[in-house]
Structure 1
Amino acid sequence: MTRTETYRCTVERDDEGRVIALNVHATDLEGGERAVRVNGYRALHVAAGLHEILRDARLRGQDWTSGQPLTVDPQLGAHAELLLRAVKPLQRLDRITTVATGVAAMSREEAAYWHAQVTRRNGLRALRLLLAESSKR
């Protein structure tokens, strides 16, 4: 039996169906839990990137809009967690959009590398700087 991290993603919507919050909840191999939540205007601008990442999970439209937690495989979950962690502290809309687009466009291998790097000191900062520089080209 192989043990892996488990990931659940949740999309919260208001009464009119607009995205108001995005959540990724992870349980690691030792049973430790971590969660990342992005809400407000950030959630609106990150939802398309998260949907692009989760599209590989073969989700139906009903799954995306139901508000129920979506259990995804560890690679997709780590990619989704990286996306939310990367944009969470940002304030400027242009930076949020640039970082979200860059993370969503990463290959699974690249996202796995950066997911491991963001646990290190200045890992998220390095990722944001890299994405900002690549968007200027």
Structure 2
Amino acid sequence: LRAVAEHLLAAIRANGYKPTELARTARTANSAPSPFYLDETSGVRLALTFMAVKPLARHDRIEAINSGIQDMSDEEAYYWFSKCSVGPNATRAQKALRVLLSDE
């Protein structure tokens, strides 16, 4: 999570939230945590980032993938999200995205 924290905080800020709202102390003990509502594009990029970096441990690859996803056009991000999230070949698409963006 630390490797993608910068992109998570950027998505939170872009949607009008303060980064401090992520803190556990910002939530009251008696109420259920309220969700963060992100615009569709931010949500797609964030989900794509989490899907792509989930099995990785090397920070250089994680950073390369993060940068690649942030540099994508909206249409390209939607394309990869649709390939990586649904269907029998989603796992293969995630691997292809990792290889494409991390030059390995």
Task: Establish whether TM, by shorter chain, passes 0.5.
Answer: yes
Structure number with the bigger relative contact order (C-alpha 8 A, sep ≥ 6) is: 2
In structure 1, what is the Cα distance between the partners aligned to 2:16 and 2:71?
17
Does the 8 Å CA contact 1:114/1:127 hold for their aligned counterparts?
yes
Deviations for 1:28-61, whole angstroms, at most 9, x for unmatched residues? xxxxxxxxxxxxxxx1111112223344323334
Equivalent in 27, 35, 57 of residue 91 of structure 1: 57
In structure 2, what is the Cα distance between the partners aligned to 1:126 and 1:51?
26
In structure 2, what is the Cα distance between the partners aligned to 1:111 and 1:46?
17
1:50–1:106 distance in 2 versus 1, CA, 3 Å: farther
Equivalent in 68, 76, 101 of residue 67 of structure 2: 101
Q: Indicate yes or no: 2:5 matched with 1:47.
A: yes
In structure 1, what is the Cα distance between the partners aligned to 2:100 and 2:12?
23
1:59–1:106 distance in 2 versus 1, CA, 3 Å: farther
| Structure 1: 5+ residue stretches without partners | 1-42
Q: Indicate yes or no: 2:77 matched with 1:126.
A: no
Q: Name the structure with the higher helix share.
A: 2
CA RMSD, 1 decimal: 2.4
Q: Name the structure with the higher strand share.
A: 1
Q: Indicate yes or no: 2:28 matched with 1:58.
A: no
Q: Secondary structure at the match of 2:37?
A: strand
Moved over 6 A (4+): none
In the TM superposition, residue 113 of structure 1 has moved relative to its aligned partner by: 1.2
In structure 1, what is the Cα distance between the partners aligned to 2:10 and 2:71?
8
Work out the percentage of aligned pairs sharing the same amino acid.
33
The residue aligned with 1:31 is none
In structure 2, what is the Cα distance between the partners aligned to 1:62 and 1:91?
27
Tell me the TM-score normalized by structure 2: 0.70
Tell me the TM-score normalized by structure 1: 0.55
| Structure 2: 5+ residue stretches without partners | 28-32
Does the 8 Å CA contact 2:65/2:98 hold for their aligned counterparts?
yes
In the TM superposition, residue 128 of structure 1 has moved relative to its aligned partner by: 0.9
In structure 1, what is the Cα distance between the partners aligned to 2:72 and 2:12?
13
In the TM superposition, residue 86 of structure 1 has moved relative to its aligned partner by: 0.6
1:106-121 alignment to 2 at 5 Å?
106-118=72-84, 119-120=86-87, 121=89
